[in-house]
Amino acid sequence: RPGLALCAGCGGRIQDPFLLRVSPDLEWHVACLKCAECGQPLDETCTCFLRDGKAYCKRDYSRLFGVKCAQCRAAFSSSDLVMRARDHVYHLECFRCAACGRQLLPGDQFCLRERDLL
């Protein structure tokens, strides 16, 4: 469909012989598909993530929009073990009693008072 598509990046008509389709309804000039945060070119060799019509590389998408630890606010890696309490997620080492600092282990009883584990 070259010549019919409009680039989601620059808004111009795509006349090039090749285009990049990120989702069923978003097409880009090869040169226009870049991470909205760091500017890294996003092509068929890397993973591309969309949010609010903007494209992001995996690293920036995870940093900006990924789930973060409720205690330390750092992002999780794919190898991290996590603990959950209601809608909060913690690194295993961050899952500690707010009063005494003791690490809470799987099977321990605890309560969640606002954002504090006890």
pLDDT tens per residue, range 67-113: 899 899 888 887 888 998 888 999 999 999 999 999 998 889 999 88
CATH number at 19-65: 2.10.110.10
Q: What are the angstrom distances between the C-alpha of 101 and each of 91, 92, 94, 104, 117?
A: 14, 13, 9, 9, 10
Does the predicted TM-score (pTM) go above 0.85?
Answer: no
* Cα dihedral 100/86/77/53 (nearest 10): -140
The dihedral of CA 12, 16, 21, 25: what is its sign?
A: positive
pLDDT tens per residue, range 58-69: 889 988 888 899
CATH architecture of 82-117: Ribbon (2.10)
pLDDT tens per residue, range 13-69: 888 877 788 777 788 888 888 999 999 988 878 788 889 888 899 889 988 888 899
Give CATH 2.10.110.10 domain extents, the chain: 19-65, 82-117
